[in-house]
Amino acid sequence: MIARIVEISLVERFLLCMLGLALLFGGLYAFHLLDIVAYPDPSPPMVELITQNPGWSSEEMERQITIPIEVALTGMPGLKDIRSLSIFGLSDIKVYFDFGTDIFRDRQEVLNRLMSVQLPNGVQPSLSPWWAIAEIYRYELTGSGTTSLTDLKTIQDWQVRREFRRIPGVIDVTAFGGTTKEYHIDIDPGKLISYGVSLSQVMQALSNSNANVGGNYLTVGSQNYNIRGLGLIDDLHDIENVMVTAKDGTPVFVKSLGTVSIGHRVRLGKVGIDDRDDVVEGVVLLQRGYKALPVLDSVRAKVQDLNSWKLPAAVKVTTFYDRTALIHTTVETVTDILISGMVLVFLILFVFLGHFRAALIVALTIPLSLLFTFSMMVLVGQSANLISLGSIDFGIIVDATLIMVESIFFHLAHAKTQNLTVNQHIVRAARQVGRPIFFSTAIIVVAFIPLFTMTGVPGKIFAPMSVTYGFALVGALIMAFTLAPVLCSFLLRGPLSEEDTAVVRVIRRLYHRILGFSLDHRLLVLAVAAGLLFLTFIALQSLGGEFMPALEEGNLWVRATMPVDISFEQAARLTNDIRRMFRDAPEVTTVVSQLGRPDDGTDPTSFFNAEFLANLKPQKEWRSGLDKDGLIEEIEAKLHKIPGVIFNFSQVIQDNVEEAMSGVKGENSIKLFGRDLKTLEAKAVEIESVMRSVKGVKDLGIFRLVGQPNLLIQVDRETSARYGLQVADVNAVVQAAVGGQAVTQVFEGERLIDLVVRFMPEFRQDVESISNILVSTPDGARIPLKQLATITSQTGAFIIYRENNERYIPIKFSVRERDLQSTVEEAQAKLGKEVTLPERYHMEWAGQYDQLKDEQKRLLTIVPVSLLIILFLLYTTFDSLKNALLVLATVPFALVGGVLSLVLTQTHFSISAAVGVISTLGVAILGGVLLISRIEEFRLTGLSLREAVIKGADVQMRPILMATLGAAIGLLPAALATGIGSQAQKPLARVVVGGMLTAAFLILVVLPVLYELVHRRWNDTGE
């Protein structure tokens, strides 16, 4: 079959060349269309519900909003987890679905379930536009000295946000910082008494005085007139002249009862940039399913339009974070690695083949296979990222073509005495190696079954890589059976001589001596090999474990957790001080601080939480000898001088992904589940104390649940009833007089501005003034609030975390200067001994550790299955179980160099390294197939066992060395790379480089010894 494909390709070789050119240009165009992302989104499908009710405590938000919604959502198809957070005025519920579900169907299912939930009046949940890698662009809206913060926020909300949302691929824009405009009516309660007016009358009058009506139409002669009754409030003057009531024919206006002014909403957050303490920030969010780069191009074009003519002259959009820079830097890193790998592989081929045209034919497989891969990825809608592109090993990709061209070259060089055409020699060469090539490539694909079958978070990370590798291998196989023979027919004409190059001659002489010694001292060689395997196993136990190395993004995202009862003003001052500390580091270019949360609630937190984005210079511009860890330690030493504040260091995308997956703002966390909040916090303190003694644990902190001071106004039902008042009547006065209540909205063109009524500040500034607020009774009397209610101060819940209908408290931590696995295992052992939990309380580990353990368990199952399939393919290839097992015996030897390279470079064993092991396994088996196939061929010619082994090993030495060294050299640039985006592929590359270097020696030395030993014992030849 394979020989027939080669024969047809040679007959239609001009057509094949045209198809090759079509692939060249089509692949380049596909690369232009390919969706390239910096990092894949590993989070599961998630629908986030945000419900706000200003003024409500966390307990009330949980009881009346969070729990009813959770109950309604339970039992949805594909539902995996429900995580929620209830905080002052906000309920945030994240609904996680199984991987593979349709996010838009999931959103619709959530909306359907919400229709059955009975919530308090005026409370309406909304779907959050946020997802793990949605934040692609951040900007500051700046103005001149005459442009107020409120004006900027108004322009942001009603103009800039709308403009960005018109861009296809932008789902929303989150506005952070600034002050939201409101119309305020501050009522003097003394004047309410003087005029005999109640607060509810004022609110009702304002609501009734702000409306337009339609009176149908009127026909006047031949014309038709629409009838409109105009009564909308236009400005402050209209508000002041709203009549509340009339006394003895004299109207009582709003302006008689208090002051009317333009103010702003109670602030929930604040943003500072560099030396500017209060600015307006916008965060552009990407729609799921859209390509980041084209959307970012459109965003920048929109910014140019806004700054040129759409915004007021003094107002500008200034960018301080654009993911394009990270993507382009990552692409540059990958491009450098790819080009370096291709050049090195070509040099290896030329050094071993000694023939420029033959090496060129093999090297052409690399770009053509890549272009084939790009075309297929575009056709199936698969995106590309750093891991999927940077981990492609060109040495593995060219193996099929290398073996084919080497065989063709060998036949053509020895064809002087044979009366055959060039094409006939090519077909004979293809027939000889076609079967080993096909089965070896199939074995490599089977070796990637653990990748193809990855699920969950690892599947999201490595699925693009497995698809990319699969397409590249298929493309390389097609090239080997079609284009490579055609190019050989064109370029390998004329007299050819197969002579070893100087390098190969030296290696061959040395190899002959080593092989002869090894075959004469079989037991010694096997003992040394077994010793190496034993040492490798010991070294493997000492390697630390982690899920994935962090992808370097060129920035810092630092979270400061302050005391939960801190005031907004104090938190703002502290945040400004911290931001200036970041500015002291010369490697930092820009520092942005975000205190609290935006008005839309998309970042569910409060004043106790401040987050800092520090953009960094390129590392080549840093101080000599300073790396990222050193910079963090330097900044951390300064920050730790601030008492009572806990810091956590991460990066922008990394932080969002970690929060999306675990529900906790931290790299890793322990979740302690239980019912009582005080018990949870007490046990969390014990856990924190134990964790502090574990080496490697950094950024340790408890997300406190209680400690929020509350002023409780408990209405006395009997006393209120004697005055004809219900509980709702008293609470309504408290809500409006103290917190303020939006009674209507004022139109400003297309803008809607809340009109808020409340008491003047001096009548609601302390407990005493609140106690003296007068409540109007139905008969006109006014009773002080303290006579109708008991007013006390009490500490309550600040924030309530829930997961799958259980409360929990998170203890977050990071791991630095040590591997994750051993750190967590030590912590688990200590916690098991030193912390005793009450009945029905339990701990769970969230973050990278649980993902690492889950994937390790899965690999322990799927890798043996893959090896069984490979064994079956090997048996099919050789029709011999002994030979199949012999080839499979090369697998553990290939691990020797991989583990050694991790030990020497002090690299932890991660899922990335495991993928490198899988890649190494495939190439090692390929080398074994080539060697044993050739030995079997020579034995069939009548050679003795020893002669067949020596001659087969001698003939296959060059192709095996080219295959293994090519695989090692192809990923050497990735193993040594230090640029942004190189971290995730380093463990993979280092395993392949080290594994291939030792695999070459072990395949060419240990496998011949094993083959002779096994076949001599079984006496297959009758010797």
CATH number at residue 15: 1.20.1640.10
pLDDT of residue 577 exceeding 90: yes
What is the average per-residue pLDDT within 896-908?
85
CA distances from 789 to 57, 338, 554, 741 (A): 18, 74, 57, 21
- pLDDT tier at 1021, thresholds 50, 70, 90: very low
What is the average per-residue pLDDT within 821-834?
91
Q: What share of the chain is helix, strand, coil (3-state, %, to 5)?
A: 55, 20, 25
Q: Do residues 713 and 703 both lie within one domain?
A: no
Q: Do residues 366 and 510 both lie within one domain?
A: no
Can you tell me whether residue 715 is helix, strand or coil?
Answer: strand
Q: How far apart are CA 176 and CA 157, in angstroms?
A: 10
- Provide CB contacts within 8 A for 768, sequence distance 6+: none
Q: How far apart are CA 664 and CA 659, in angstroms?
A: 5
pLDDT of residue 969 exceeding 50: yes
Express as a percent the part of the chain with pLDDT over 90: 35
pLDDT of residue 448: 76
**Quick check: 190 and 782 in contact, CB under 8 A?**
no
Q: Do residues 469 and 568 both lie within one domain?
A: no
Most confident residue range from 333-347, 883-897, 936-950: 936-950
pLDDT of residue 1022 exceeding 60: no
Q: Do residues 647 and 584 both lie within one domain?
A: yes
Q: Helices 911-940 & 890-904, crossing angle to 10 degrees?
A: 140
The total of other beta-carbon atoms located within 10 Å of residue 555's CB is: 22
CA distances from 835 to 503, 704, 749, 888 (A): 64, 19, 62, 48
pLDDT tens, position by position, 102-125: 999 999 999 999 999 999 988 999
Q: Helices 502-520 & 945-970, crossing angle to 10 degrees?
A: 130
- pLDDT tier at 394, thresholds 50, 70, 90: low
pLDDT tens, position by position, 494-533: 677 767 788 888 999 999 999 999 999 888 988 988 888 8
In-domain check, residue 60? yes
What is the average per-residue pLDDT within 827-843?
92
pLDDT tens, position by position, 534-562: 888 888 777 777 777 677 788 899 999 99
Domain that holds residue 113: 44-130
pLDDT of residue 334 exceeding 80: no
Q: Do residues 649 and 748 both lie within one domain?
A: no
Q: How far apart are CA 34 and CA 1000, in angstroms?
A: 36
Return the CATH number at 241.
3.30.2090.10
Q: How far apart are CA 21 and CA 8, in angstroms?
A: 19
What's the structural domain count of the chain?
A: 5
What is the average per-residue pLDDT within 318-336?
84
Q: Do residues 565 and 689 both lie within one domain?
A: yes
Q: How far apart are CA 669 and CA 671, in angstroms?
A: 6
Reported as type and span, the H/E element at residue 656 is helix 652-662
**Quick check: 373 and 383 in contact, CB under 8 A?**
no
Q: Do residues 208 and 249 both lie within one domain?
A: yes
Q: Do residues 954 and 972 both lie within one domain?
A: yes
- pLDDT tier at 85, thresholds 50, 70, 90: very high
- pLDDT tier at 979, thresholds 50, 70, 90: low
pLDDT of residue 122: 84
Q: Do residues 362 and 217 both lie within one domain?
A: no
Residue 336, judged by CB atoms within 10 A of its CB (0-12, 13-18, 19+), counts as: middle
pLDDT of residue 980: 67
Q: How far apart are CA 215 and CA 213, in angstroms?
A: 7
User: Which is nearest to 739 in space by CA: 764, 762, 715?
Assistant: 764
- pLDDT tier at 1023, thresholds 50, 70, 90: very low
**Quick check: 666 and 648 in contact, CB under 8 A?**
yes
pLDDT of residue 169: 93
What is the average per-residue pLDDT within 786-801?
89
- Provide CB contacts within 8 A for 451, sequence distance 6+: 462, 463, 465, 466, 469, 915, 918
Q: Do residues 462 and 567 both lie within one domain?
A: no
Q: Give the rounded distance of the alpha carbon of 850 from its chain centre.
A: 16
**Quick check: 187 and 776 in contact, CB under 8 A?**
no
Structure tokens at 701: 């902190």
Q: How far apart are CA 78 and CA 99, in angstroms?
A: 9
| Residue 93 half-sphere exposure toward CB, CA atoms < 13 A | 27
pLDDT tens, position by position, 251-290: 999 999 999 999 999 899 999 999 999 999 999 999 988 8
Return the CATH number at 585.
3.30.70.1430
Q: Give the rounded distance of the alpha carbon of 121 from its chain centre.
A: 38
464 vs 594 pLDDT, higher one: 594
In-domain check, residue 415? yes
CA distances from 353 to 417, 496, 532, 954 (A): 22, 12, 32, 15
Can you tell me whether residue 318 is helix, strand or coil?
Answer: strand
In-domain check, residue 181? no
Express as a percent the part of the chain with pLDDT over 70: 97
- pLDDT tier at 399, thresholds 50, 70, 90: confident
In-domain check, residue 975? yes
641 vs 1023 pLDDT, higher one: 641
Could you write out the DSSP letters of every residue in 263-308? EEPPP-EEEEETTEEEEEEEEEEEPTTS-HHHHHHHHHHHHHHIII
In-domain check, residue 268? no
Q: Do residues 703 and 781 both lie within one domain?
A: no
- pLDDT tier at 882, thresholds 50, 70, 90: confident
Please calculate the CA angle 652-653-657 and round it to the nearest 5 degrees.
125
Structure tokens at 217: 């139409």
What is the average per-residue pLDDT within 641-646?
88
What rounded mean pLDDT belongs to the chain?
86
In-domain check, residue 427? yes
pLDDT tens, position by position, 117-153: 999 988 999 999 988 888 999 999 998 878 899 999 9
In-domain check, residue 979? yes
Q: Do residues 912 and 890 both lie within one domain?
A: yes
In-domain check, residue 864? no
Reported as type and span, the H/E element at residue 108 is helix 103-114
